[in-house]
Amino acid sequence: MDLQAQIQLLIDNAPKDGSTPEIVTAIAPILSAIASSLSYTQYYILRHLESGWVMTTLSNRANPELEKRVIYAFPTIQDVPPSSSAGLDPQVIPVPMPVTHILFQLLAIEPVDSIVFFETSGTTNNPVEVQRAELQRLVREQLQQNLLHNRIPPDIA
């Protein structure tokens, strides 16, 4: 599914509450820009059947107190390592997801700091990390611009 179709699906599936479809439309350029900088239009995310996406906590080698929580996004199902939770736990499965939907959900997943997109099938070298805080900053700026230009009510975001 191409990026424009993914964005349209997000808009179509947004709650019809009077503002969410407009918000998704307003932030679509941000989601599209980041998604188009990635190599694939779909990635596989490890998912617990009961509790959502599988997070990995990474520690800084030089400073072990510094930690960040990431979700890995694999380009193909073959790239999901057999030693991952999916290979060891029957409650964990790799789920294909459109890249714009992954980015959209990243905005709301509180404990997650980043999504790490593996960009080259067959290797975990040269991943691209999309930080939640940076994505939120870009979305906030986009919504503020729309607020000024389109007079969207200020209580939307």
Residue 17's pLDDT is 85
For the chain, the 3-state helix, strand and coil shares in percent, each to the nearest 5, are 40, 25, 40
Is this model's pTM higher than 0.85 or not? yes
Residue 62 CB-density burial (10 A; 0-12 exposed, 13-18 middle, 19+ buried): exposed
- Banded pLDDT at 83 (limits 50, 70, 90): low
Mean pLDDT for all residues in the chain: 88
- pLDDT number for residue 1: 84
Q: What pLDDT, on the 0 to 100 scale, is given for residue 150?
A: 63
pLDDT at 81: 82
pLDDT digits (tens, 9 = 90+) for 98-130: 999 999 999 988 889 999 999 999 888 889 999
User: Model confidence over 17-38: pLDDT tens digits?
Assistant: 888 888 999 999 999 999 999 9
pLDDT of residue 153: 55
Higher pLDDT, 55 or 151: 55
Average pLDDT, integer, range 87-99: 84
CA distance 125 to 142: 32
Residue 61: predicted pLDDT: 83
